A and B are shown apart, each in its own frame.
Chain A
Amino acid sequence: MSTKPGEIIVTGPKDTDEFIKGVWAQNPVFVQVLGMCPTLAVTNTASNALVMGLATAFVLLMSNVLVSSLRHAVPKQVRIASYVAIIATFVTAVDYIIQAVSLEVHKSLGAYVSLIVVNCLILGRAEAFASKNNLKRSIYDALGMGVGFTLALLCLGVVRELLGNGTFFNLSVLPGNFQPWVIMLLPGGAFFVLALWMLLINRLKQGGPRD
């Protein structure tokens, strides 16, 4: 690694640590609380959450790859504009791909696919990580953050779908006399579920319940 004056060199952690970091220690949803718009809006079913998470992860990966490869070529003054152009490109691509795979899924995600452009998680990783690190580390970082984001969305989606609709990935799993909690499918339910998950994860991080 070439050293430039003023550059901060992180020594010690292995590249794979970047992956673990995104999934657990710095999980984008539960720890950094980034990207709340899709987290709250499209986690009403597990499958929506999964597609949204994967779409975001794909955009994150591709933009990190491009931003990291071009990091020496892009002048500082226009870096944000360049990142936004790169991110918007891959969001457009994802939008077409989802339409090609399934119109139904595209319909249920609605405007939120296009809104990945302004997901601060992606611009945040481009600016804070990919523009300062080499390609390999940026890929690990994007994979970690992407998987972390997808898992977090799934955590919300599974709970909301189960309680709000009595199903798990559209399969009926609860007994027929179960009365669905409609609130879980509404935006309010997303806040409740998110809060409970954050409570649980913060408890686990602190090493179990304290007296």
Chain B
Amino acid sequence: MYRTLVGIGLICALVIVTVFEVTFPIIKVNKQRALENAIYQVLANTKSFSAYHLVGNNNLQKVTDNDTSDIYACYDANHSLIGFAIAAQGMGYQDTIALLYGYSIRSESIQGLVVLQSRETPGLGSKIESRAFLDNFNNIEIGLDAIDNERQQPLELIKNNSKTHTRQIDAITGATISSRAVVVILNRSLSFWLPIVAKQQEPIT
């Protein structure tokens, strides 16, 4: 009996290891390409980027492993820094929403937003991935030193197309909770990262 179970275990392990060995490099390339596409979408003119993470003294340090990073420095064709692509996530209506947005340090503004992962209600909450909603997040000016404490909320959710300022985000009709989730996630991420970027001591190259 044990011999059979061990035998089956061995066959199974062999199958999994073989498939993993074959597919792992392809999966890695796929993930890298998906990340690249998202970054190029949120910060136009990006030609290359590198992953950073936060170290002890609230400074950003370059890392080689792209998978676990939350913030990516983006460079233009002349290798000079144009801004950051920042990943943020939080609870949506049904499940975690993962976002990536581009912050340009040249114009001190949010340049664009993409939804990396969402499982919002099809037809309603899923519209947070629609062009009409995401266009709210093009060119929102927020000064690097505008945020001095974590409670500040740079973006505001409004209803009924009454937008008068770029920092106001039009909620999707029928999906207020999903729209609010996106704004809350962004506010939290902005009030966390912007002061860190502003106080960055070592130059990012």
Interface residues, chain A, with chain B CB atoms under 8 Å away: 44, 66, 70, 73-75, 77-78, 81-82, 85-86, 88-90, 92-93, 96-97, 99-100, 102-103, 107, 110, 164, 180, 182, 185-186
Contact = CB atoms under 8 A, between A and B. Distances in A.
Q: Which one of B16, B22, B122 has the greatest number of beta carbons of chain A within 10 Å?
A: B122
B5 A78 contact: yes
Task: Classify the interface of chain B: helix, strand, loop or mixed.
Answer: helix
A81 B30 CA distance: 35
Given A90-B15, A99-B30, A103-B31, A74 B4 contact: yes
B91 interface: no
Contacts, number: 68
Given A75-B4, A96-B23, 16 more contacts: A44-B122, A74-B8, A75-B1, A77-B1, A78-B4, A86-B8, A86-B11, A89-B12, A92-B19, A96-B19, A100-B23, A100-B30, A102-B30, A103-B31, A107-B117, A185-B123
B9 interface: yes
Contact of B1 (A78, A89, A100): A78
21 contacts: A70-B4, A70-B8, A73-B4, A78-B4, A78-B5, A81-B5, A86-B8, A89-B11, A89-B12, A90-B15, A93-B15, A96-B19, A96-B27, A97-B23, A99-B30, A100-B22, A102-B30, A103-B27, A103-B34, A182-B124, A185-B122
